Amino acid sequence: MKAAETLPNTYRPRLLSISSMQEETPDVRTLTMRFVDQKDAEAFDGWTPGQFGEFTVFGYGECVFAISNAPWRRGGNRDPEPKIECTFRDVGKVTHALRNRSQGDLVGFRGPYGNFFPIDDWKGKDLIFIGGGMGMAALRSALLEVMGRSSEFGEIIILNGARTVADMVYKEQMDEWAAKDGVRLVRTVDPGGATPDWDGEIGLIPKAFEEMGVQPDGSIVIACGPPIMLKFLFVSLEKMKFTPEQVMTTLENKMKCGIGICGRCNVGPFFVCRDGPVLTWAELNKLPHDY
């Protein structure tokens, strides 16, 4: 046997089969996938919330998505069969091809990659999850994990915002989240985005957050959304006396290889795929601002 044949191929994806799909908005879908090869499922020990994967649509290319379901626990009370979920928007060639896949079709998966949310460090603290549009997909794995361990944390607050009611993701799941003890849910849409039957808030996320009256003492904010949303959210957080060390976000810069080799996602010396995507607001402030 040649020596090269004994080495694992970093870029060779595992095979997943699409087991179900959920339409979140007219152009956003959540896929649930399971490993085709049982050996892959047995070898895959899951991931830590915040990590991402490279998803392959064969013949079209790869896309990077956050892994949006909570990790499974071997021997625990979670789903005993490993699964991977991702929520994505149809915006280009590869994502359009992925949206055209059907139940039973095969998708490639590489990962998990990147760092993760330090959930164990949050024990005993109030947690505030703020998702703008598709940003909630990047927070969902951490949110589901802490709700599954809710006795270890203080109050869990969720602020889910979107441009319009039609653009809001996880509509059906939000009712389940709000029904859990110790969880407070606020939904908001931009001015002009409400429907006649909308019973949530109307206003941009920074304004809606300020009006919630949360206190910074002993709290952790976990936020993800469009850069313009984060820019003004940080202004609100500073006004409310939150420190940069209390605030975490996750970057979504364009990634290709997933392992810090291609250089496509670097921000100065920082590689989003290798050194991120999770970082604090304090760490974000240290990155070069001319990229």
CA 235, 89, 160, 275 torsion: positive or negative? negative
Give the class (CATH, top level) of 11-113. mainly beta
Residues 6+ apart with CB under 8 A from 257: 11, 264, 273
| Residues forming beta bridges with residue 158, ordered by sequence position | 129, 185
Torsion of CA 73, 79, 83, 84, to 10 degrees: -70
Instruction: Tell me the mean pLDDT in the region 66-79.
Output: 70
| 8 or 71, higher pLDDT | 71
Per-residue pLDDT band at 187 (split at 50, 70, 90): very high
Kindly tell me if the per-residue pLDDT of 254 is higher than 80.
no
Max Cα–Cα distance, the chain, nearest Å: 69
Kindly tell me if the per-residue pLDDT of 62 is higher than 60.
yes
DSSP 163-182: SSGGG-S-HHHHHHHHHSTT
Select 119-250's CATH number: 3.40.50.80, 3.40.1400.10, 3.40.50.970, 1.10.260.40: 3.40.50.80
Q: Where are the domains of the chain?
A: 11-113, 119-250
Span 86-144, pLDDT tens digits = 999 999 999 999 999 999 999 999 999 999 999 999 999 999 999 999 999 999 999 99
Residues 6+ apart with CB under 8 A from 232: 204, 206
Beta strands 61-66 and 52-57 are antiparallel
> Of 38-42, 121-125, 170-174, 224-228, which range is least confident?
38-42
Tokens of 167: 């653009």
Per-residue pLDDT band at 8 (split at 50, 70, 90): low
Beta strands in 95-246 (DSSP E): 106-113, 126-132, 156-162, 183-189, 201-202, 219-224
Residues 6+ apart with CB under 8 A from 251: 272, 276, 277, 279
Q: Is-same-fold flag (11-113; 119-250)?
A: no
